[in-house]
Amino acid sequence: MGNNHKHIPKAANSLQDECIRVQKVYDWVTDSLTVRKSVAFSSEQIKKIEKAMDDPCRRPLRIVTKVPKTPPVFPLSESESENHSSHFLCEQVGEKRNVTVSLNGGFAEAQLVDLLFTTDVKVQVVDRNGDVVTELLVNASVFESFVLCYPDGTDLYCRITKIIARIPTGTVLLNSPAPLTFEVEITFCVDIQVEAEVKLEVLAKFCSPRENDLVAPEDVASMCDPITFPPQCPDIYPRAGCDCSAKGEASGLTGENSTESGRLAILVDVCPNCSINNSSFRLSFNDTDTSDGQSDFDFTAVSFDQDTLCCDKYNGGLRLTISGTGRVSTTGELYDFNLAVVQTNEGNQFQVQLINAEGVTVFESGIVTADAGEIELQDCVSSGH
């Protein structure tokens, strides 16, 4: 090669394209899983409990739970010790399977994986002074299947971020005899991510180049396989955010062209944090015209179609419209719904339609002018969410 190299000056500290190695998130799911366990005291434990209850200085007794300490949600870590401790465990069971799922009116290829979540919860009976009368260890497990974007070449990281244990009833023991059994409800807060190490081109500040002092064989390209990354699943993750959101409650009388006359109240939280996840919508109708029979009902949304979400300017304010499906509480019947909410300087207006499986509108509220409550609409685009 020789030593006659062209001098390369130090680069200015300016933005330019760089290739970096990072962990790319192919899918990310959070969920809460609950299991209920029936716990029985042993005869020896019953004796200790009843002895303590016979002592007026120690009663009443309480049944309390102690859950293992879990790692925080942030920072994210791949440490096995955080996900597999002596008191809780999250692991994949068996191999993943390829599946085809319906999504947004089409189909997408994904992977089905079975995950096992296990923990040990300590249950204690304590007296009024906080002294432990007796204790036992309760093991709880949940086996759950998840549909993920989990292509070959990616790694699955399963984390338990929180464990919650509660005893629904009977936590205070006043008098003998002591209960032989009781129920413990255990909830796992889980965080599941699918990642792969990739190399991305980004705009960054470059430090300085090295000297051109390396020579590669000319046939390297023909000897090495091309570099490919695992295929992405854009239909599954990441999901698109919302352009606007609505939160609050309002009520008013049904408007012109309504199918029923009465008072309509709605409670909405559409696109909380500008994400369609955890959206909610409830409706309560009070029929004031009983000449054709009383027809009060409550309706709760069970799903929202993000593709129908529309946010536009309206009379100097903002209007949100969205569709989905829900159920009437009294009958359990499933209906499609259309919801429109308007916020201007003059207040709120809203309109609701319920449509049956045959496409017939069975309830039309007309345009309701809210005379109580308030629903706040937020532009997610301009607010920077």
The span from the CA of 299 to the CA of 246, in Å, is 18
β-bridge partners, 65: 123
80 and 158 co-located in one domain: yes
Per-residue pLDDT of the chain (385 residues; tens, 9 = 90+): 445 555 555 555 556 677 888 899 899 888 889 999 999 989 999 999 999 988 989 989 999 999 999 887 766 655 544 555 678 999 999 999 998 887 767 778 889 999 999 999 999 999 999 999 999 999 999 999 999 999 999 999 999 989 999 998 878 887 778 788 889 999 999 989 999 999 888 876 655 555 444 444 555 445 555 657 788 887 777 777 899 999 999 999 999 999 999 999 999 999 998 989 899 999 999 988 777 666 889 999 999 999 999 999 999 999 999 999 999 988 999 999 999 999 999 999 999 999 999 999 999 999 999 999 999 999 988 765 5
Claim to verify: residue 129 and residue 187 sit in the same structural domain: yes
**Do residues 264 and 373 share a domain?**
yes
Collapse the DSSP code of 52 into the 3-class scheme (helix H, G, I; strand E, B; otherwise coil) and give the result: helix
Encode burial over 165-197: b for 16+ CB neighbours within 10 A, e otherwise. Answer: bebeeeeebeeeebeeebebebbbbbbbbbbbe
Q: What is the pLDDT of residues 242-269, one digit of tens each?
A: 999 999 999 999 999 999 999 999 999 9
Structure-block tokens of residue 376: 């706040």
Specify whether the CB–CB gap between 274 and 246 falls below 8 A.
Answer: no
Q: Tokens in use for 191?
A: 């965080």
Separation CA 50–CA 173 (nearest Å):
10
Question: How far is CA 75 from each of CA 78, 198, 313, rounded to the nearest angstrom?
Answer: 10, 20, 39
CB atoms under 10 Å from CB of 274, counted, come to 17
Task: Please check whether residue 153 lies inside any domain of the structure.
Answer: yes
The answer as to whether 54 is a domain residue is yes
The structural domain count of the chain equals 2
In a domain, 150, yes or no: yes
Within-domain flag for 208: no
Structural domain including 56 reads: 23-197
Cα gap 65→265, rounded to integer Å: 40
Q: What is the pLDDT of residues 201-220, one digit of tens each?
A: 887 665 555 544 444 455 54
Question: What is the pTM (predicted TM-score) of this model?
Answer: 0.61
For residue 380, the 8-state DSSP code is H
